Structure 1
Amino acid sequence: MANVSVAAEWQLLYNRYYRKPEIYQMKWKHIDLSRNKVACAPFGGPIAVIRDDSKIVQLYGESALRKLRIFSSSGVLLSETVWKHPGGRLIGMSWTDDQTLVCIVRDGTVFRYNIHGELLEPNSPFSLGPEVFQQTVKECVFWGNGVVCVTMAGQLFCVPDFKNLTRTVKLADPGIEAVEDEEDEGFAGMRCVAVIEPQYTMSGNVEVLIGVGDGLISVDEDGLQPLAVGLVPGPLQKMVVSPNGKFLAMFTHDGRIVVANMDFSQIFIDYACESVLPPEQLVWCALDTVLAYWDDMLLMVGPNDDPIRYFYDEPIVLIPECDGVRILSNTCMEFLHRVPDSTVSIFKIGSTSPAALLYDALDHFDRRSAKADENLRLIRGSLPEAVEACVDGAGHEYNVSRQRTLLRAASYGQAFCSNFERNRIQEMCKTLRVLNFVRDHEIGIPLSIQQYKLLTASVLIGRLINSHHHLLALRISEYLGMNQEVVIMHWACSKITASLTIPDATLLEILLDKLKLCKAISYAAVAAHADKSGRRKLAAMLVEHEPRSSKQVPLLLSIGEEDTALIKATESGDTDLVYLVVFHIWHKRPALEFFGTIQARPLARDLFVSYARCYEHEFLKDFFLSIGQLHEVAFLLWKESWELGKNPMASRGSPLHGPRIKLIEKAQSLFSETKEHNFESKAAEEHAKLLRMQHELEVTTKQAIFVDSSISDTIRTCIVLGYNQAASKVQKEFKVSEKRWYWLKVFALATIRNWEALEKFSKEKRPPIGYRPFVEACIDADEKSEALKYIPKLADPRERAEAYARIGMAKEAADAASQAKDGELLGRLKLTFAQNAAASSIFDTLRDRLSFQGVT
């Protein structure tokens, strides 16, 4: 009998069964769909209703204010708002994939609402553009996240994606005459419009099908082209593209419903209706059949058989779904869909399938009948298939009692089936529990199992929290083992928005009690929302609980808690965070206040100093002055003088030397104020003096070769250039020692090969450095004759011997070495003259003689 009662609800179309169970009795009151514009979201989404201002409406004593109302699919009022937008009549209204309500008025202005009736762009609504404003909108065809608008001038404009409202695309001109009467329902030559979604086109852009005259044209951005010339079945009054973009359902001028593929090479349905008046709605029921609705009849047409007719005494709205069509009326919500094969195999009258016998076996088992065992023996070989059919059938049921019975049948069969997946029933139980929860009247999301799988659990949870069903979303997340952080975060933000009268301390306790449920929860994100809601004190208290400095510090800065942010950043040890806070405070506070702030934090101070040394010298000098570190300012000034010296102009642009000298003198003055930097003070003083003298020398000689050279190089250069008096002045000013003076002058004179001056210099007095430097200078200049003037004056015979050897005088070298009585020296000198046999013999003779005398 159960099978009979279940199957009695079905209708047979060709070889497939369809059913239309009632899902809800609508909870709303005084809603007449015929007098309102209605937009219903797919996947059991919300319903938007607004009074149609083109019709005379009885107000039932309600306010004359026009209101936009949003209901759940069960008729529970979610929100309402007064419609007060100028711009002309509301032309089109539809829900996007993310449940944003899009409303387009006649002048092309787009208003977007969330599910709570709040405008998403309250101050600057999007406009379709000046052309649309001038031509005005006649018709809107929505799909997913886009829309095509037809203007009164017969032009087509497209918004490809409402998530990215940046541009309106004008499609090719279809060449259709403008409409003279804006109340006219059709266009001169344009009878109907349909859209092929971008995902189903070759170009990846939207294509618009327009019924023009007896034919059909396709329009996109690049142009237009006629489709299937001569194959289109006469003038079309209505058409709709299938959900997969492969088929086109049409209502012709002579009252026929025709379904063909997109190139019209094959006709699948051609049914002559009783009326030639076009239906109010023409939609697809999944991919199996087409529904046409007139004001009292719903006609379902399929291939090769008589249609199914449903009669209504009230207006209805058809809502296409992926697996059927929801039917909304003033009083109820129904779901028309194909009966699943598993359900047919179980409940079809007279069915003897394994699934039907298993279901029957459970009934006998409950009545303690032995026939239960008989049924199981009959289907033992097909028991896994029977169990699977019962599980699948349970998933497609809306009736909870029937779900339970089918799952019990599956569980009963599984007990005798060793090779059936053990988790299958458990997973189906989980899925059905979730579906039954969200199908409840108070929630009002009547998802089928196929819709649920396509939508996914995470998206469903997102929709629940957007509807403020946080507790249910949390329980489902926990039940399915999903991340609960998203739910708790959204709840916390919503709680803050809705609790304007609750004190901050009280609200903080409420929030923390729930936020602690998730260890990885972002307190910073909740605090940011609190700050955005105008509760800065609450935001500051919340952010204290954020364990991650990378999230905590930026938020502290945004809410004006710079000092706390600096403490947290330095405690974290993250130099990037410290720099972030330092730069923020730097640009926000007066200099002295900034200096005081970072001085108290060594890490922040050191990082600031490191950065400022490279890029902000002036500001860094102010900082050091403010904390009394004058020597640091002096070092900076000294460094600036060197940087100024690197300027290419400094080499011959003597005007730059003046500022350099002033910088060094200022540095010297600052060094002198601290006892610890006497050396630096003296060094800076001498540097300035040297630089001034070098500058004067460059002016005198007109050669830019003195500045930034050492004292020794300056003296040497003066002597080389013949400015001996200047060289002496440098020596006296910087107290260059007499020995260094001699060394410098000797080699300078040798460099310019002024041998006469060198000899004269050697005779002024006995050189304090001896005559060896004179010898080396001459030998280095390859002047042996000049060297011979000074070699005999060398007091040390060893030095004389080596000097003679360097200029190749073997005999003299040998004599000097013999005077030194140094056998080792003789050996070295012999090696020097290894190529000269006569010289070598002299050294051997002397060594032998020296050895003999030593023995004696």
Structure 2
Amino acid sequence: MANVSVAAEWQLLYNRYYRKPELYPMRWKHIDLSRNKVACAPFGGPIAVIRDDSKIVQLYAESALRKLRIFNSAGVQISETVWKHPGGRLIGMAWTDDQTLACLVQDGTIFRYNIHAELVEPSISMGKECFEQNVVDSVFWANGVVCLTESQRIFCVADFKNPKPHELAEPGLEDSAPLCMAVIEPQYVMSGNVEVLLGVTEGGLVVVEEDSVQRVETVGGEVLGPLQKLAVSGDGKWLAAFTHDGQLLVMPTDFSEIKFACNCESALPPEQLAWCGMDSVVLYWDDMLLMVGPIGEPVRYLYDEPVILIPECDGVRILSNSSMEFLQRVPDSTVSIFKIGSTSPAALLYDALDHFDRRSAKADENLRLIRSSLPEAVETCIDAAGHEFDVSRQRTLLRAASYGQAFCSHFQRDRIQEMCKTLRVLNAVRSSEVGIPLSIKQYKLLTPSVLIARLINAHQHLLALRISEYLGLNQEVVIMHWSCSKITASLAIPDATLLEILLDKLRLCKGISYAAVAAHADKNGRRKLAAMLVEHEPRSSKQVPLLLSIGEEDTALAKATESGDTDLVYLVLFHIWQKRPALEFFGTIQAKPLARDLFITYSRCYKHEFLKDFFLSTGQLNEVAFLLWKESWELSKNPMASKGSPLHGPRIKLIEKSQGLFSETKEHNFESKAAEEHAKLLRIQHELEVSTKQAIFVDSSISDTIRTCIVLGNHRAAMKVRTEFKVSEKRWYWLKVFALATIRDWDALEKFSKEKRPPIGFRPFVEACIDADEKGEALKYIPKLADPRERAESYARIGMAKEAADAASQAKDGELLGRLKLTLSQNTSASSLFDTLRSSFQGVS
């Protein structure tokens, strides 16, 4: 009996059954669809209604103000707003993929509203040409729109997220307006651009793309007459067209053939033409709905009130003033169970449950009949349950599946559980208060995460949270949106109270971004609440930037320092540096060692002057002195600081300043003295460069300066440097000996050796002569060497073996003889001489 009552509601279109269950009685009042423009979103989305300003209508008791009202699919009002837009008549409106309502007016402006009837800024313009020429028609799709102007030009916005209007190719319609217009969405076109189909009065189609226009006058050898109405299938592959002589044609969108044609018995074009899934086409005239399939007689449904067709992926929703229905092909699983006279395994299993409930033995008989097909019967019952909108029928089908599963050994146990889960979610969102009548196919295509996003946007936060928890999805997105919405809507609640309300929910989700909620509070002018919220953010990388944006610089610095993240500390430092006066900034960082050290490190490289101010403000004069000294060295690297350059003047002044600062503290006596002498030496060197016109003195040592002076013959200058810097006599002798040897002034060297007994002895004289390869000059000084060892080695170095041997014999040093032998290894007679001497020493010992 149950089978009869279920199947009695179906209509047969050739060999396929269709059903049209009522989803909701509409809960709105005084809404007449014929007096309004209506936009319905697919996937059970919201309905937008606004009075049609192109019709003269009686106002009844309503206000003369035009209102845009938004309802859910059950007719429960979600929001409303007064329509205030100038720009002419409303040409068209539609819902985008993200459930934003796009409204196109006559001057080519698109105003966008969210589901709460709040205007989304900015509005989009279709361009100057649309503004000047007026828009007369439009077609929307998921995220775009094409519009037709009075001068028959077509403009397109392909993506509302990147709204750049552009004109398509000139369709060449002259002055005759097209009879109808449809689009093939970019995702179904090879070029990736939208394709516009125009039905024209002379017959056939004009296909307009970005840069091409194609005339389609014949399809499969048949001439196309004028087309009055067009509809493209959901997958972009098929086109349904209603002709001037009352025929419905279905053809592929490559126009290769006419797949089928059906005479509709009316030459009057339908008000609406829509695809019912992919199986049939629905046409609507003011009192009749006609469903046409590829074979067989069409099915008629009569209506005494206006309806709106809403195409879905698996059917078409039918909205009237009083109800929302869903016309769909009956799923195969449902047909196999409920078809009158069905003896399929699933029908017998469903029947067996009925007998079992009535305690009849026929239940066991039915099970024995289908034992080999029991898993298939269970699967069919589960599938049929998924396609049902009636909750009691869902329950009965699932009980039948569960009953059959008890006798199956190899059936997947979690299939029923999965279906129960899915149906609980679907039943929750189908309730009239939520009003999202999704079928199971639509739900799978939409995905749970998108459904939750839509619930959130409709402020159904509790339901979204429960579904997320039930399906094991991330709840963070729900709680975040709820928190931000709560802040926006709770302007009268004190900060401390609202904080506790928010924390109560935010704590449900580990790792949630308190900083993002705090940022929203700050954006809404609740800075104190933002500061309190950000305290709970565990991630410094999110906490610190927000503290800076709400003006909590000191707290941000403390948090950044605690984190030990030098990048974060630098972020805060630079922020405070720009905002605060220097002295206040110095005071802030002085108390934070890490921040202070990082500031000093950075400033040493890039901000010397600012760092000097910091050290002066904190009384670190020695640090300032070191900086000045470093600056003096930086000046020396300047390529202009040569050849008696005046840049040496500032260098010397910098060193003198640093010397003055070093002298302020006893701990830096050495540095003070060094700086003083450095300045004095630089001054002398600068003067020497000026007088000699040679850039060879500056930045050389005292010793090098003296040596250079002697080499240049400027003995007076050398003596002056010696006197100024108290150069010791021994050092003076060394420098002068080697300087005179360098310029090979042997007479001067000899004269110098005779001035008095040299304090360094005569060895440096010998070495200087030998190094200059002047053996004769060396012989003047070798006999004057007091130590026989030194004499022996010096003679050996200039190749005088006998004299070396004589001196060595005086020293009586066997080791020395071995060294001399090595020095004179090339000389065979010398080697035997040293061997003889060594033998005689050993004999004596």
TM-score category, normalised to shorter length = over 0.9
| Equivalence for 2:184 | 196
Secondary structure at the aligned position of 1:418 is classed as coil
Q: Distance in 2 between matches of 1:394 and 1:707?
A: 98
Contact kept? 1:228, 1:263, Cα under 8 Å: no
Secondary structure at the aligned position of 1:383 is classed as helix
| Equivalence for 1:27 | 27
Contact kept? 2:625, 2:659, Cα under 8 Å: yes
Contact kept? 2:762, 2:785, Cα under 8 Å: yes
Report the alpha carbon displacement of residue 2 of structure 1 after superposing the two structures with TM: 0.5
Q: Distance in 2 between matches of 1:233 and 1:382?
A: 51
Given candidates 475, 486, 499, the residue that maps to 2:490 is 499
1:210 paired with 2:198, answer yes
* Range moving further from structure 2, 6-15 or 512-521: 512-521
Secondary structure at the aligned position of 2:156 is classed as strand
| Equivalence for 1:556 | 547
Q: Which stretches of structure 1, 4 residues or more, deviate above 4 A after TM superposition?
A: 228-232
* Range moving further from structure 2, 791-800 or 832-841: 832-841
| Equivalence for 1:7 | 7
Secondary structure at the aligned position of 1:789 is classed as helix
Secondary structure at the aligned position of 2:674 is classed as helix
What is the one-letter code of the residue matched to 1:667? Answer: S
Report the alpha carbon displacement of residue 58 of structure 1 after superposing the two structures with TM: 2.1
1:385-784 correspondence runs (5 A): 385-652=376-643, 654-784=645-775
1:144 paired with 2:136, answer no
1:809-848 correspondence runs (5 A): 809-848=800-839
What is the one-letter code of the residue matched to 1:67? Answer: K
Task: Normalising by structure 2, report the TM-score.
Answer: 0.98
Q: Distance in 1 between matches of 2:442 and 2:643?
A: 83
What is the one-letter code of the residue matched to 1:126? Answer: I
Contact kept? 1:216, 1:232, Cα under 8 Å: no
Report the alpha carbon displacement of residue 128 of structure 1 after superposing the two structures with TM: 1.6
Secondary structure at the aligned position of 1:24 is classed as strand
* Range moving further from structure 2, 341-350 or 292-301: 292-301
What is the one-letter code of the residue matched to 2:571? Answer: L
| Equivalence for 1:94 | 94
What is the one-letter code of the residue matched to 1:677? Answer: H
1:265 paired with 2:256, answer yes
Report the alpha carbon displacement of residue 176 of structure 1 after superposing the two structures with TM: 2.1
Report the alpha carbon displacement of residue 777 of structure 1 after superposing the two structures with TM: 1.1
Contact kept? 1:269, 1:302, Cα under 8 Å: no
Q: Distance in 2 between matches of 1:755 and 1:171?
A: 99
Contact kept? 1:227, 1:263, Cα under 8 Å: no
Contact kept? 2:707, 2:736, Cα under 8 Å: yes
Secondary structure at the aligned position of 1:328 is classed as strand
Secondary structure at the aligned position of 1:631 is classed as helix
Report the alpha carbon displacement of residue 232 of structure 1 after superposing the two structures with TM: 5.1
1:177 paired with 2:174, answer yes
| Equivalence for 1:48 | 48
Given candidates 252, 255, 262, the residue that maps to 2:246 is 255
Contact kept? 1:36, 1:52, Cα under 8 Å: yes
Q: Distance in 1 between matches of 2:354 and 2:293?
A: 36
What is the one-letter code of the residue matched to 1:13? Answer: L
Contact kept? 2:644, 2:689, Cα under 8 Å: no
1:313-342 CA deviation, whole Å, 9 max, x = no partner? 111111111111111111110001110000
Contact kept? 2:274, 2:283, Cα under 8 Å: yes
Q: Distance in 1 between matches of 2:745 and 2:287?
A: 127
Contact kept? 2:801, 2:824, Cα under 8 Å: yes
Report the alpha carbon displacement of residue 226 of structure 1 after superposing the two structures with TM: 2.6
| Equivalence for 2:78 | 78
1:361-418 CA deviation, whole Å, 9 max, x = no partner? 0000000000000000000010011000000000000000000000000000000011
Contact kept? 1:43, 1:455, Cα under 8 Å: yes
Given candidates 213, 217, 222, the residue that maps to 1:224 is 213
Report the alpha carbon displacement of residue 227 of structure 1 after superposing the two structures with TM: 3.5
Q: Distance in 1 between matches of 2:108 and 2:842?
A: 121
Contact kept? 2:644, 2:686, Cα under 8 Å: no
Report the alpha carbon displacement of residue 169 of structure 1 after superposing the two structures with TM: 2.0
1:68 paired with 2:65, answer no
Secondary structure at the aligned position of 2:646 is classed as helix
Q: Distance in 2 between matches of 1:499 and 1:146?
A: 36
Contact kept? 2:316, 2:327, Cα under 8 Å: yes
Kindly report the root-mean-square deviation, in angstroms, between the aligned alpha carbons of the 2 structures. 1.2
What is the one-letter code of the residue matched to 1:76? Answer: V
Contact kept? 2:67, 2:81, Cα under 8 Å: yes
Report the alpha carbon displacement of residue 668 of structure 1 after superposing the two structures with TM: 1.2
Secondary structure at the aligned position of 2:647 is classed as helix
Q: Distance in 2 between matches of 1:587 and 1:70?
A: 49
| Equivalence for 1:108 | 108
Q: Distance in 1 between matches of 2:789 and 2:259?
A: 122
Contact kept? 1:228, 1:264, Cα under 8 Å: no
| Equivalence for 1:346 | 337
Q: Distance in 1 between matches of 2:424 and 2:591?
A: 60
Report the alpha carbon displacement of residue 833 of structure 1 after superposing the two structures with TM: 1.9
Report the alpha carbon displacement of residue 852 of structure 1 after superposing the two structures with TM: 2.5
Report the alpha carbon displacement of residue 190 of structure 1 after superposing the two structures with TM: 2.2
Q: Distance in 1 between matches of 2:476 and 2:821?
A: 93
* Range moving further from structure 2, 1-10 or 232-241: 232-241
Report the alpha carbon displacement of residue 250 of structure 1 after superposing the two structures with TM: 0.5
Contact kept? 2:39, 2:47, Cα under 8 Å: yes
What is the one-letter code of the residue matched to 2:90? Answer: L
Unaligned runs of at least 5 residues, structure 1? 179-187
1:281-300 correspondence runs (5 A): 281-300=272-291
What is the one-letter code of the residue matched to 2:739? Answer: A
| Equivalence for 2:129 | 131
Task: Normalising by structure 1, report the TM-score.
Answer: 0.97
Q: Distance in 2 between matches of 1:761 and 1:170?
A: 101
Secondary structure at the aligned position of 1:44 is classed as coil
Given candidates 139, 157, 160, the residue that maps to 1:159 is 157
Secondary structure at the aligned position of 1:655 is classed as coil
Q: Distance in 1 between matches of 2:249 and 2:3?
A: 36
Report the alpha carbon displacement of residue 519 of structure 1 after superposing the two structures with TM: 1.7
1:301 paired with 2:298, answer no
Q: Distance in 1 between matches of 2:398 and 2:616?
A: 83
Q: Distance in 1 between matches of 2:545 and 2:177?
A: 61
Unaligned runs of at least 5 residues, structure 2? none
Q: Distance in 2 between matches of 1:708 and 1:226?
A: 88
Q: Distance in 2 between matches of 1:534 and 1:104?
A: 34
Contact kept? 2:20, 2:326, Cα under 8 Å: yes
Contact kept? 1:108, 1:137, Cα under 8 Å: yes
Report the alpha carbon displacement of residue 659 of structure 1 after superposing the two structures with TM: 1.3
Secondary structure at the aligned position of 1:125 is classed as strand
Q: Distance in 2 between matches of 1:41 and 1:512?
A: 35
Secondary structure at the aligned position of 1:249 is classed as strand
What is the one-letter code of the residue matched to 1:225? Answer: Q
What is the one-letter code of the residue matched to 1:200? Answer: Y
| Equivalence for 1:36 | 36
Report the alpha carbon displacement of residue 604 of structure 1 after superposing the two structures with TM: 0.5
* Range moving further from structure 2, 274-283 or 333-342: 274-283
1:690-724 CA deviation, whole Å, 9 max, x = no partner? 11111111111111121111111111112222222
Secondary structure at the aligned position of 1:444 is classed as coil
Secondary structure at the aligned position of 1:80 is classed as strand
